[in-house]
Amino acid sequence: MNNFPSVDQIPLPAPVWLLKALHDLTFSLHLASVGLLLGGLMLALAFAVFGKLRQAPVMTQAAGMLIHRLPTVMAFVINLGIPPLLFAQVLYGRALYTSSVLIGTYWIAVILLLMGSYYGLYVSAGLAARQKPWFGPGFAALLLILTIAFIYSNNMTLMVRPQSWSAMYLHSPAGLQLNSSDPTLMPRWLFFMAGSFPAAGAALMLLSLRSELSDELARFLSRAGGVVLAISIVIQALLAQMTMGAQPQNVAATVMGDSLYHPFVLGWLATALLLALLGVLAGIGKRPNALIAVVASVVAFVNVVSTTMVRDGVRDVTLRAAGFDVWDRQVAANWSVIGLFLVLLVTALVVIAWLVNVAGKAKRVEENYV
Ligand code: HEM
């Protein structure tokens, strides 16, 4: 029996390939921002604790620099989460709306959790700026952010499990349940959590290039970034193996053998290897190296894009086996609207690049968190 609600009679307003490409681009940007946020927060908390325990001002300063930037990063996480949500709803609405309703209470709770964590970040940044301890609100924000990610992983794994929907609805029509019986859930969530460190490690390496930093602080940021990058990408590779191994029969093999997704599996492995190497180089380097930092950041983003694509493959292959083929939709492309959308998208990206450039050239404000 096909468990999916019947298809919307209104055709898609753009070709499936275009909607998927836009989804994958914007989701990669969301995922990279999530990495900066989560990885940045976990590292900031670790530096704050060890800075105090070891009486190491350089660590306390690094922690303050990180937490100071996280409210801004959170704005990127949220704003870059909205476009993939819209594209995913257009493409996979019959599956995604169903799973969202089944875990509805938790799904709606994301909004409150988000507000709470955002508040925690602001409070922490304010305390750090006044050289006061900020571990409490920072740790609370971390717990809330981890919970949000867990709810997202629940929804994204449940949307590809139509065989369990009816029983779940009968169990709790109020949506007070999670997809906890799914063996793919935990490894997948852990994979994404570990995946936040490579982006954060590369960001530390970039931060170390700032000219106003003392030599000791610059060296600490660059080396710590390298070590985090090298270790976390190895852990993430192990979790990737576990996540693919937990997929239902044939899903992993079909994704690996698919001509669209296979290159991204190889791309993920190649970028992971490169990141481990660049991490080791930065970790043992005597001073920050701009080339290594920039190349590591670009490679880390390509790695995130590869994750997005393989994740997309896992979803499409699993759904197809359950009777939902995302490519099998009626399309009535409205090219004038698509053209206008693309012009606005490019304009927005150019404006963001310009803003980042202006912010980069702005006069530095002295940061002192010790
Ligand atoms: C602190 C806040 C957030 C965190 C930590 C977070 C983290 C994540 C993670 C880990 C995933 C991947 C889940 C998986 O596939 O197993 C994900 C997916 C997603 N997130 Fe976020 N997220 C956050 C906020 C948001 C917000 C505010 C939005 C939208 C308004 C959003 C939109 C999405 C979408 C649309 C997906 C899935 C896209 C797809 O499957 O097509 N996220 N998020």
In a domain, 10, yes or no: no
Atom of ligand 1 nearest to the CA of 152: 13
CA distance linking residue 144 with residue 150, whole number of Å = 10
In a domain, 268, yes or no: yes
Nearest CA to ligand 1 atom 42: 81
Atom of ligand 1 nearest to the CA of 78: 27
CA distance linking residue 209 with residue 186, whole number of Å = 37
Mean pLDDT taken over the chain: 96
Q: Could you tell me if 322 and 165 are in contact, meaning their C-beta atoms sit under 8 angstroms apart?
A: no
Q: How far is the CA of 142 from the centre of ligand 1 (A)?
A: 15
Number of domains in the chain: 1
In a domain, 258, yes or no: yes
Nearest CA to ligand 1 atom 10: 149
Q: How far is the CA of 148 from the centre of ligand 1 (A)?
A: 8
Answer yes or no: is pLDDT of 276 > 70: yes
Q: What mean pLDDT do residues 16-44 have? A: 97
The residue type of 166 is S
To test the pocket of ligand 1, the residue of 16, 26, 27, 34 to mutate (highest count of ligand atoms within 8 Å of its CB) is: 34
pLDDT of amino acid 349: 85
Q: Which residues line ligand 1 (CB under 6 A)?
A: 23, 27, 30, 34, 38, 77-78, 81-82, 84-85, 88, 114, 117, 145, 148-149, 152-153, 156, 188, 192, 311
| Residue 352 pLDDT grade (very low, low, confident, very high; cuts 50, 70, 90) | confident
Atom of ligand 1 nearest to the CA of 189: 16
User: Which of 79-93, 199-213, 349-363 shows the lowest mean pLDDT across its residues?
Assistant: 349-363
Nearest CA to ligand 1 atom 40: 156
Atom of ligand 1 nearest to the CA of 27: 38
Q: Could you tell me if 319 and 325 are in contact, meaning their C-beta atoms sit under 8 angstroms apart?
A: yes
Atom of ligand 1 nearest to the CA of 85: 35
Give the structural domain span for 147: 16-350
Q: How far is the CA of 153 from the centre of ligand 1 (A)?
A: 8
Q: How far is the CA of 312 from the centre of ligand 1 (A)?
A: 14
pTM of the predicted model as reported, rounded to 2 decimal places: 0.96
In a domain, 228, yes or no: yes
- Residue 104 corresponds to which tokens in the numbers above? 């509805």
Q: How far is the CA of 292 from the centre of ligand 1 (A)?
A: 29
Atom of ligand 1 nearest to the CA of 91: 41
Nearest CA to ligand 1 atom 8: 149
Atom of ligand 1 nearest to the CA of 88: 41
In a domain, 359, yes or no: no
Q: How far is the CA of 85 from the centre of ligand 1 (A)?
A: 8
To test the pocket of ligand 1, the residue of 23, 26, 30 to mutate (highest count of ligand atoms within 8 Å of its CB) is: 30
In a domain, 11, yes or no: no
pLDDT of amino acid 1: 64
Q: Kindly tell me the burial class for residue 163, based on how many C-beta atoms sit within 10 Å of its own C-beta (0-12, 13-18, 19 or more).
A: exposed
Count Cβ neighbours within 10 Å for each residue of 254-277 and write b for 16 or more, e otherwise.
Answer: bbeebeebeebbebbeebbebbbb
Atom of ligand 1 nearest to the CA of 159: 40
- Residue 124 corresponds to which tokens in the numbers above? 């922490």
Q: How far is the CA of 82 from the centre of ligand 1 (A)?
A: 9
In a domain, 38, yes or no: yes
* Lookup result for tokens 């030599």: 215
pLDDT of amino acid 363: 83
Answer yes or no: is pLDDT of 33 > 90: yes
Q: How far is the CA of 156 from the centre of ligand 1 (A)?
A: 9
In a domain, 285, yes or no: yes
The predicted-structure confidence for 110-152, as pLDDT tens digits, reads as follows 999 999 999 999 999 999 999 999 999 999 999 999 999 999 9
pLDDT of amino acid 102: 98
pLDDT of amino acid 362: 85
3-state secondary structure the chain: CCCCCCCCCCCECCCHHHHHHHHHHHHHHHHHHHHHHHHHHHHHHHHHHHHHHCCCHHHHHHHHHHHHHHHHHHHHHHHCCHHHHHHHHHHHHHHHHHHHHHCHHHHHHHHHHHHHHHHHHHHHHHHHHCCCCCHHHHHHHHHHHHHHHHHHHHHHHHCCCHHHHHHHHHHCCCCCCCCCCCCCHHHHHHHHHHCHHHHHHHHHHHHCCCCCCCHHHHHHHHHHHHHHHHHHHHHHHHHHHHHHHCCCCCHHHHHHHCCCCHHHHHHHHHHHHHHHHHHHHHHHCCCCCHHHHHHHHHHHHHHHHHHHHHHHHHHHHHHHHCCCCCCCCCECCCHHHHHHHHHHHHHHHHHHHHHHHHHHHCCCCCCCCC
- The number of residues in the chain equals 370
Closest to 230 measured CA to CA, from 185, 281, 183: 281
